[in-house]
Amino acid sequence: MKLLLLIAILFSVGCRGAEAAEGAVEEAVPAHCHSETVNSNVRLATLKIEEVKLPLIFSSFIIIVILAKIGWHYPWMHVISSNIPESCMLIVLGTHIGGILVASFRLDECTPNDNLPFRFTPQLFFVFLLPPIIFASGYFLDNRAFFENIISILMYAVIGTVWNAFALGFTLYGLSVAGLMDSHLSIPSALLFGTICAAVDPVAVLAVFDEIHVNKLLHILVFGESLLNDAVTIVLFQVLGAFANIEFDHETTHNIGVDVAVGFAQFFVVVIASIIIGFIFGIITCLLTRLTHHVHVLEPVFLFVLGYLSYLCADLFAFSGIISLIVFAIMVKHYVPPNLSFKSNITFKYFLKMINVLAEMVIFLYLGIALYDDHFHSWDTGLVLWTIVLTLIFRPIGTFVLTLLLNRLRFHKITLKDTFIMSFSGLRGAVAFSLALTRLFEEGQSSLPEGERTLRKRMVTAVTALLLFTVFVQGTTIKPLVRMIKVKIENVHQVSLNEVIHNDTMEHINSGMQDIAGTFGFNRLVEILQFLDVKYFRKLFERFPEAKDRDIINKFKKLQFKESTQEVESHHCNTETHEEHRLLNDEVCEAAKSCEDAVPILDEILKANRFNPHEDHYNHVIIHDENDEIDHHLQKVKLRKRLQVRKGRRSTFQRRHTTPSFPTIPTSSRTGLVASPLEAIEETDSGRDRLVSLSAVIGQTDEPMIDPHSVPQASSNDTPL
């Protein structure tokens, strides 16, 4: 922390002293020296601090937050970092840096406070920092869990947000009329302030949830509510902002009834139009990525640029860019990855995660810096205290009432413990602070009465106090609270291929039972959507439409790639329980030891073992690059030779010992990661039986890969698939 503060001090002093240094040098030069150099237009060095001031400051912020994150997660900081959220550390760091920068810039009396270059502005947040966070949230969203609980999420996000906004607004208006605070709020201004305070941002809570592994239902309810809450809050802010400005518009007459009807209709128009814009840009992205197989380097660019354009186009027409970007991300996640190369998929995912983390850290850093900007703030003790108290009262009331209503309709009930954690996890963040600043700096604010401008500054101060209270108090106590009340924890384990097959089978069974019973449930709806997806949408949006059992195939790919990568990264052969298992992995281990660069060999092994969606069977390798055909052929020859050596050793071993049973799950460890999975499985009776069963379950071929009549019967010791 001291190192970071020292860097900030040196940087700020350097920025402010650069211009002064140049003037001081000119004053220090004697007059006769001036006369000699006054006609020269050539300089040995020139400081252009005004041209690079903003990008230099922003880049320095990024370096500071990266160093802070590294130090915060260092082992000797584990005791503190495990109990205090990272957002708290960044806000504290931002307050120190903000104090240093403000003090250094104020040394120059010619620089007014209104022109500080590091000010947190709504445009900076909504245009540059918020889109990557929303894009990452929508892309890495668990679509199945999200849509299974979409009714509950919409109830909490829409009805809960409206309840919090109107309950807080009307209560503050009553307190203002009663004279219990210095600020005098009108009904539109009070409702608008309540809407601003209703925006939640549980970044710290979700980080705790990921660390503790709370149950999936609680996680998706909190995450989904926060994701849609921002969109609902911004739309409601736009509608109520128009009503709040009516009292200052004395040039035209207004019909309140008509304005209310138009505002109510505007809410639905904004939501529907934003969804349509997201779908349009999603369709364009899917169609364009079908044509990028010759320019893989541009594939991630299409996703980022078109996603950002969907956000900007929605804001261009005063719609919700958040809703548009969420719809775009969900659609792109489903259809675009099969069109991209493996490297493009990895590049896009990691770059999206990177800018998401950086944006969140920079936001909290800016929030700390904004505390020193007196252009934002005006203190009202009554407004601050009542806002915090009423927020802690109304959110739990709304959450518990909605839970009671939803549990009448849900099969899997929401427990009281989960409901309490949901009500306690309503942290406020940058969205609320940015909306308050938007209200402060909107057009025409200079012509407002002095009392209205002061009231808007007091709103910013109250929102800032609410933000700090929720982040530091609720954010730091949520982790021990979850453990104290013993919230249900998710059983974290690696999902096997067998589990995916069973889940898929149970979904078909549930859908059939609903069809027989004459009911239309979620499983039946999923069956219909999957049918339309396979029959029409994939053929339109994907370059090579895969088989209908894509979940099973994708899980098979992930399992084999994960285990293959672990084998190569380990660089040594681990001792296994069964000697047979060890022999099956010798090839990858020897390749990793003998070759300095094992990646090409691993890539060839994966191509031979992983299912190729362009063909109807597993054992097929397509070499697209003719220049590498000879190298690939030589590698295959080497692998074949290693196979022969391994077969000789294994035949000797089989004559001495009984062949042990393989695990029930077909993974790369069992297949040995050889050039052909058939050669790895065919050599045992149980392996052939499992291969027949696997091909029948996945349904990729009309007939089994091996004739079942030609396969010897499995022994009684074999474990069925």
Q: What is the pLDDT at residue 620?
A: 37
Query: How big is the CA angle at 35 (ends 33 and 36), to the nearest 5 degrees?
Result: 65
Banded pLDDT at 303 (limits 50, 70, 90):
very high
Over 80: is that where the pLDDT of 680 sits? no
Mean predicted lDDT score pLDDT of the chain: 75
Mean pLDDT of 172-183: 92
231 contact partners, CB below 8 Å, separation of at least 6? 271, 274, 320, 322, 323, 326
Q: Which two tokens stand for residue 664?
A: 């029930």
pLDDT digits (tens, 9 = 90+) for 382-419: 999 999 999 999 999 999 999 999 999 888 899 999 99
The total of structural domains in the chain comes to 1
Looking up residue 190, the CATH number of its domain turns out to be: 1.20.1530
Query: In 545-563, which positions are buried (b, 16+ CB within 10 angstroms) versus exposed (e)?
Result: bbebbbebbbbbbebbbeb
Give a yes or no: residue 338 inside a domain. Answer: yes
What is the pLDDT, as a whole number, of residue 464?
93
Is 713 inside any structural domain?
Answer: no
* Domain interval for residue 260: 122-485
Q: What is the pLDDT of residue 470?
A: 92
681 in a structural domain = no
Is-above-0.75 flag for pTM? no
What pLDDT, in 10s, does the model give residues 562-621? Answer: 666 666 666 444 444 444 444 445 544 454 444 444 445 545 554 554 434 333 333 333
- Is 495 inside a domain boundary? no
pLDDT band at 108 (very low <50, low <70, confident <90, very high): low
Give the rounded percent of residues in the chain with a pLDDT score beyond 70. 65
Residue 600 belongs to a domain? no
Q: Supply the pLDDT for residue 514.
A: 75
Banded pLDDT at 651 (limits 50, 70, 90): low
| pLDDT value of position 275 | 95
What is the distance, to the nearest Å, from the Cα of residue 32 to the centroid of all Cα atoms in its chain? 64
Q: For residue 378, what pLDDT band results from cuts at 50, 70 and 90?
A: confident
**pLDDT on residue 701:** 41
What's the rounded Cα separation, in Å, for the pair 524 and 512? 8
Enter the DSSP assignment of 252.
S
Contact 419, 400 (CB under 8 A): yes
In this predicted structure, the answer to whether residue 248 has a pLDDT above a threshold of 60 is no
Residue 135 included in any domain: yes
For residue 657, the model assigns a pLDDT of 52
SS3 559: helix
Residue 652 lies in a domain: no
In this prediction, residue 158 carries a pLDDT of 94
Residue 56 is assigned to a structural domain of this protein: no
